[in-house]
Structure 1
């Protein structure tokens, strides 16, 4: 696995399929009531999530290559500046190439700094706080000039903030602080790295209903990709595309997945997304999954 891929850094989720360990959606007679997905994160709690990513590349006439990354994140939410401060650390990163564990410079950096996000009261991403800490962590494991240039670019404050903002918005933009009804669709722009080139696609999220989880009742959304802006695109879809900078949408990108978010108290219970991108260099499949494992009260 070459270091520096976006899914090595944060908030990524996965397995090789889109099945769920949770029970089926709750049946409801008639039209179910809307669910209000307010941003009410747990305060003074430590949220632990497992994160996995699998990347396969199939080129014509060549064996498939397979890279895997896995780690654990620990996240804390605290009121700050009229909004929220999110502090996230990475534990036990592991990287595997074609079945063999390999050293991970990116993983070593991630273990040595805390990613800090400032969010507005409604959960909107505002900025990273102290993103320079990533470069200091990089200098600890690879002094200037001795590291991999790609990894150095990956951890610059500008790249880190841009990537974190996009990942947060791909997961939650258009979902928070609003009533959601079954069948409702929301959209976000996301990107996949193919041979060093970022390819944009439209991520469509459809409300499927609610489901009980160990973290409380949750809203369930199915995920799929659009590789073109439809001629009759709803205003909300066009607005999401414009707000993302109106990027060129790449043909040949498809995906499927599921997102589960607890709504009484904001907990990202689970997110699974399998993206396939077909291009001249072959077929890339990136599967990411994050799973909430525990929510623990922290001591004084």
Structure 2
């Protein structure tokens, strides 16, 4: 090879002519980051939450709007190898069509505390002393007033059933596991709509993580299913069957978001709006909760 030709190859090697073939590039599969969600509740702390609910019923051109506000304080203490969650209401208010109304429900809520026995992994076990609510009804409603609707609502079995469903809908299947973006979990939930019950499967999809004042948190988007698909994942079918295979309400839809700190369990926020047709009326129920503070327990 003449020197000039050798030089030209050296020069061209900087471009393409005398270049060695590039190594074969093998695609690297994308690995979605996962977070481990353990149930580590805050001990010796008081968790204050604000809760708001709104119910709008539209029928025949008329619109009825009712709202409720609560402030709750929650405490976790070790108990029976698991945890005892004690939640009391410190403030309650109701309004109808924008006007504050007084009712016996507020008095009842202020007179007793919900006490949930949870397993070490955060699984709901039972409601402790649910009869305290019935006693609060007797103390709140004077003689001569029909307290049967309140008594049925706060009856031990009914109260435990609602509390269990609410806990499962919010946290069931999320603890003691790794969660990655796009992962879905399911729970069955119900809402009272007059004399009927709106039932649906709540689908929770992991959107990622978010920094909050309570630490790193997992973010879940929420939506409703009004039927169990034929090709449903086993976990979805299992959740529906474990709930007793309830008849789901046709046409129910919902959307929302839940944020939960997982280094130390704190339910940072949750928003859910459910819409459903019930006996010719359009029901819209909105539920919101937000952590307001986590303070050291006063000694």
Q: TM-score under structure 1 normalisation?
A: 0.88
Instruction: Give the Cα separation in 1 of the matches to 2:132 and 2:220.
Output: 35
Query: Where do residues 242-257 of structure 1 align in structure 2 (5 Å cutoff)?
Result: 242-257=241-256
Query: Which residue number corresponds to residue 54 of structure 1?
Result: 54
Q: Answer 1 or 2: higher relative contact order, Cα 8 Å, separation at least 6.
A: 1
Q: Is the 1:88–1:115 contact (alpha carbons within 8 Å) kept by the matching residues of 2? A: yes
Instruction: Give the Cα separation in 2 of the matches to 1:165 and 1:197.
Output: 19
Counterpart of 1:274 in 2: which secondary structure? strand
Query: Which residue number corresponds to residue 226 of structure 2?
Result: 227
Q: What RMSD in Å do the two structures reach over aligned CA positions? A: 1.1
Q: Deviations over 1:124-144 (max 9, x none)?
A: 000011111111111111146
Query: Where do residues 134-145 of structure 1 align in structure 2 (5 Å cutoff)?
Result: 134-143=133-142
Greater gyration radius: 2
Q: Is the 1:257–1:273 contact (alpha carbons within 8 Å) kept by the matching residues of 2? A: yes
Q: Indicate yes or no: 2:211 matched with 1:212.
A: yes
Query: Which residue number corresponds to residue 178 of structure 1?
Result: 177
Q: Deviations over 1:161-215 (max 9, x none)?
A: 0110010001111111110000000000001222221121000000000000111
Query: Which residue number corresponds to residue 41 of structure 1?
Result: 41
Query: Which residue number corresponds to residue 63 of structure 2?
Result: 64
Gaps of 5+ in 1: 1-29
| Moved segments of 4+, more than 4 Å | none
Query: Which residue number corresponds to residue 101 of structure 2?
Result: 102
Instruction: Give the Cα separation in 1 of the matches to 2:233 and 2:277.
Output: 27
Q: Deviations over 1:84-105 (max 9, x none)?
A: 0000000110000001000121
Query: Which residue number corresponds to residue 162 of structure 2?
Result: 163
Q: Is the 2:38–2:177 contact (alpha carbons within 8 Å) kept by the matching residues of 1? A: yes
Q: Is the 1:205–1:223 contact (alpha carbons within 8 Å) kept by the matching residues of 2? A: yes
Alpha-carbon offset, residue 152 of structure 1: 1.1
Instruction: Give the Cα separation in 2 of the matches to 1:65 and 1:148.
Output: 24
Counterpart of 2:111 in 1: which secondary structure? coil
Gaps of 5+ in 2: 1-29
> What is the aligned length?
270
Counterpart of 2:108 in 1: which secondary structure? helix
